[in-house]
Amino acid sequence: MRICILDGAQIYDRGRLHDILASSLELPEWYGRNLDALYDCLTDADQETEVRILHKDALYENLGGYGPALERVLRQAAESNSYFHWRVVDSL
């Protein structure tokens, strides 16, 4: 299973967010480092994949409106692909 931990206390901008996603989830080179491209990659996943969000409040504070937009993309991708899951965690 591929697991990506998004620690909101350590993510201060969109670039860092997409760096972590691309690396942890081994996203393809064509990944465009935006939410549309992320959705495409997550709905194409053919093995168990999970994104865990730690310190959600900090993530939202650091990313502004991009935080809730990210959560919408994760929710929609999980609804579209049974191999993809996401959740908010209190600790690791």
User: How do residues 15-62 score in pLDDT, each as one tens digit?
Assistant: 999 999 999 999 999 999 999 999 999 999 999 999 999 999 999 999
Asked if residues 52 and 4 have their Cβ atoms less than 8 Å apart, the reply is yes
Q: How far apart are CA 11 and CA 76, in angstroms?
A: 22
Q: Is the pTM of the predicted complex or chain greater than 0.85? A: yes
Nearest to 20 by CA among 57, 52, 61, 64: 52
Which SS3 state, helix, strand or coil, does residue 25 take? Answer: coil
Six token digits for residue 59: 């993530």
Q: How far apart are CA 92 and CA 70, in angstroms?
A: 20
Mean pLDDT of 77-85: 98
